[in-house]
Amino acid sequence: MTHSSDETWTVTMVIPEESSLAAAGETHRIEVAEDETILAAGRSAGVWLPADCQQGWCTACAARLRNGEVVHPHARRYYEEDREAGYVLLCTAKPRADTTLVIDQYDDFLEFRAANDKPPGNSKLNS
Amino acid sequence: MADEKQHGSGAVEPGDTSKRVGAEVIRERGVDPEELREKLIDAIGAEFTTYYYYTNLRMHLAGEEDYKEITEDARLEDRAHFELVVPRVYELEGSLPNDIRDFADRASCPDAEVPTPMDDSGDFDTSELEVEDILEVLLEAERCAIRTWSEICDMTRDADPRTYDMAQRILNEEIDHEAWFIELLSKERDDEINPAGHFARGEPGDAPYSTNNRFNDSA
């Protein structure tokens, strides 16, 4: 456990081999403060993570929780189904435990949202 | 002249109207034109919804004529951004969604709603609506747009100068808008002087960087 007195957690980011990101196949560990988003911490640490709106809406930053805990206090469009399925929006996600995430899950997340009849799933996939 | 067509080149056969060289040259440079097109639809969806929501936000800045004027500039310029990029979507063999609900659902930025609940009769409950809350909605909408068009600039730089040119023009104006609303919110909420360096547009919604050619005064 690396939870320290100044409220930071270790976030491990697994970037799949098949990702189009420059860091595909790599795993990065960063320290993220309680009030910091994982996206901001990652980019500050030099890991270019995908994102767009950075308000928890567009889903470009979608990731999948492998273990740990995050919260999304300011996400504009994040559903209970997303949380139950372990999807995370990095732009608004803040850790509450040491956490491991699989990055670059946008396409899978769109399918998930569509299957749950939640935007922007069907509006994107049926265009 | 022999059957061979001297002007034919690349992956598009001479006379083939099923493909566009304007799209294939982007693909050849490493950008998927279909992916780019879909991102453009998301981005102009946000411009269009913002234009709509800003109409409402502007209305509710009642009595704040200076704020209304600046919001009007941003509102009309967001519509200009939509107008500027729509043709590019079609050039890239896309189209606008037939259902406006789909267009709004896939918009790349959140709905910029008036920050107050509805009352029992279905009207806005304005009893606790503060000017600073409206200005914060406006500011965050502009920030989202800056991020979106920066992403599109990243995606098109060195690969698609036509889209890049549009995106950087729009980005210029979105950054103007952010500066305006930082100035207004700083003064309204914090009583701080935080100048935008703003001069009035030549006319409301002038869109000095992004306006389409003024070939149609009704647009």
* Domains contained in chain B, CATH given: 27-112+130-190 (1.20.1260.10)
> B41 or B6: whose pLDDT is higher?
B41
Nearest chain B alpha carbon to A60: B108
Averaged pLDDT score across all residues of chain A: 95
Is A29 part of a structural domain of the chain? yes
Q: Do A55 and B109 touch (CB under 8 A)?
A: yes
Distance from C-alpha of B205 to C-alpha of B25, rounded to nearest angstrom: 34
Backbone angles phi, psi at B127, to 5 degrees: -65, -30
Asked if residue B8 has pLDDT above 90, the reply is: no
| B185 Cβ contact partners less than 8 Å away, ≥ 6 residues apart | B132, B135, B136, B139
Which pLDDT value is given to residue A3? 53
The structural domain count of chain A equals 1
> B5 or B162: whose pLDDT is higher?
B162
Backbone angles phi, psi at B21, to 5 degrees: -60, -35
Nearest chain B alpha carbon to A121: B106
Per-residue pLDDT of A43-77, as tens digits, reads 999 999 999 999 999 999 999 999 999 999 999 99
**Domain of residue A19, residue span:** 8-125
**CATH assignment at residue A81:** 3.10.20.30
Q: What is the DSSP letter of B124?
A: B
Q: Do B144 and A51 touch (CB under 8 A)?
A: no
- Residue A100 CB-density burial (10 A; 0-12 exposed, 13-18 middle, 19+ buried): middle
- Residue B38 CB-density burial (10 A; 0-12 exposed, 13-18 middle, 19+ buried): middle
Residues of B in contact with A126 (CB under 8 A): 102
Distance from C-alpha of B86 to C-alpha of B194, rounded to nearest angstrom: 35
Which pLDDT value is given to residue A35? 95
Is A3 part of a structural domain of the chain? no
Q: Per-residue pLDDT averaged across B3-7, rounded?
A: 55
- The answer to whether B89 faces chain A, any CB pair under 8 Å, is no
Asked if residue B205 has pLDDT above 50, the reply is: yes
Which pLDDT value is given to residue B218? 59
Per-residue pLDDT of B158-177, as tens digits, reads 999 999 999 999 999 999 99
Is A50 part of a structural domain of the chain? yes
CA distances from B44 to A28, A92, B32, B74, B122 (A): 34, 23, 18, 15, 29
Asked if residue B9 has pLDDT above 70, the reply is: no
Contact B127, B4 (CB under 8 A): no
> B8 or B114: whose pLDDT is higher?
B114
Contact A62, A113 (CB under 8 A): no
Distance from C-alpha of B34 to C-alpha of B39, rounded to nearest angstrom: 9
Q: Per-residue pLDDT averaged across B191-213, rounded?
A: 86
Q: Do B147 and A122 touch (CB under 8 A)?
A: no
Q: Which amino acid does the sequence have at B12?
A: V
Averaged pLDDT score across all residues of chain B: 92
**Tokens for B219?**
């647009």
Asked if residue B87 has pLDDT above 60, the reply is: yes
**Residue-wise over A32-69: b if at least 16 C-beta within 10 A, else e?**
beeebbbbbbbeeeebebbbbbbbbbbbbbbbbbeebe
Which residue in B38, B101, B109 is closest to A53 by CB distance? B109
Which pLDDT value is given to residue B1? 47
> B205 or B186: whose pLDDT is higher?
B186
Distance from C-alpha of B191 to C-alpha of B185, rounded to nearest angstrom: 9
Per-residue pLDDT of A113-127, as tens digits, reads 999 999 999 999 987
- The pTM assigned to this predicted structure is 0.92
**Tokens for B27?**
């693909």
Is A2 part of a structural domain of the chain? no
Is A67 part of a structural domain of the chain? yes
Residue with tokens 């950054």: B175
